[in-house]
Amino acid sequence: MRILSLNAWGGKLHSPLMKYLAEVDADVLCLQEIARSPVTEAEWLIYRDADVDLPQRANLFDEIAAALPGHDGFFCPTARGTLLDGDRPVASEFGLATFVRRTNSVIGQALDFIHGGFSSEGWGPHPRARNAHCIRLFDHDAGAAITIAQMHGLREVSGKGDTPARNAQADALVNLIGKVWPGKERLVVCGDFNVLSDSVTFKALAEFGLTDLVVSRGHTDTRTSHYLKSGRFADYMLANAAVDVARFDVVTEPEVSDHRALLLEIA
């Protein structure tokens, strides 16, 4: 089984992103920063916030679903706000997407907010609402179940250090996983956590016997050349001892986002 985690950056690097997602041959894709705008046929929209103008692929979720016809897709929005087609506002949703190869059976799942709640009339003030999606699959090739959870951690304007809100987010994530994972089987947790590598988030997840594969294997950078700020950690993937890791990679090439993809192969 191959599990991919990636912050897709709204599809800004659309062509290499789509090519990579189609060719990487992952069984489960855990994606963050995905847009869906069903009221427009425009391919590109603009997200504008203060001094930020960021191109967004208007219906990135639908495009990925079309590129992965052998997968079932789950779209998990955090908010419904406005993107711009020129000067024309367009209603759009933004959030997580999980794609699962159909040869695996989805036998359990939970979706909930780990910070704030759904905003139906705009993106909301920072730090904005965040959710997490947890699925339990039966892997027929392995003859065993596996639980996989992903989140996109909240963004604080003060940086990636621990805060009361981030501590509460970690507790909420643990509670969500506990609703799906029965214990004593394989568990993987991943995503753009938006925290530092020494965050209490990892102490909370250690309750499930999870170990981070990024730092423990010597990786020091989960960002690409498109990210120009300092602080190179953002994305993490954790696994418990029941997961037989055949290979784990923080993918340097191709660059398909300002985040690097995390790719786990399970024996």
Structure confidence at residue 154 as a pLDDT band (50, 70, 90): very high
219 Cβ contact partners less than 8 Å away, ≥ 6 residues apart? 250
- Residues contacting 126, CB < 8 A, separation 6+: 155, 156, 157
Cα–Cα nearest to 74, from 136, 130, 30, 25:
30
At 194-252, the pLDDT tens digits run: 999 999 999 999 999 999 999 999 999 999 999 998 889 999 999 999 999 999 999 99
Q: Does the pLDDT of residue 158 top 90, yes or no?
A: no
Q: Is the pLDDT of residue 52 over 90?
A: no
pLDDT on residue 50:
78
Residue 253, judged by CB atoms within 10 A of its CB (0-12, 13-18, 19+), counts as exposed
pTM of the model: 0.97
pLDDT for 75 beyond 90: yes
Whole-number mean pLDDT of the chain?
97
Alpha-helical (H) ranges within 93-194 are 164-180
- Residue 148 confidence (pLDDT): 99
Whether the per-residue pLDDT at 80 is higher than 90: the answer is yes
Give the side-chain half-sphere CA count within 13 A for 151: 29
CB 202 within 8 A of CB 212: yes
**Quick one: pLDDT at residue 51?**
78
The rounded distance, in Å, linking the Cα atoms of 41 and 59 is 9
> What are the sequence ranges of the domains in the chain?
2-266
Question: Euclidean distance between the first and final Cα of the chain, in Å?
Answer: 7
Q: What is the mean pLDDT of residues 85-100?
A: 97
SS (H, E, C) 196-226: CCCCHHHHHHHHHCCEEHHHHCCCCCCECCC
For the segment 159-205, what is each residue's pLDDT rounded down to a tens digit?
999 999 999 999 999 999 999 999 999 999 999 999 999 999 999 99
**Average pLDDT in the 60-79 region?**
98
> What is the SS3 assignment for 13?
coil
CATH fold of 2-266, please? Deoxyribonuclease I; Chain A (3.60.10)
Distance separating alpha carbons of residues 92 and 46, to the nearest angstrom = 11
183 to 27, 63, 106: CA distances (angstroms): 22, 35, 17
Is residue 51 classed as helix, strand or coil in its secondary structure? coil
Could you identify the residue written with the tokens 């929209």?
A: 45
Beta strand 130-139 pairing with 105-115: antiparallel
Residue 93 has what pLDDT?
98
Q: What is the pLDDT of residue 157?
A: 85
Q: What is the pLDDT of residue 194?
A: 96
| Rounded distance between C-alpha atoms, residue 136 and residue 149, angstroms | 9
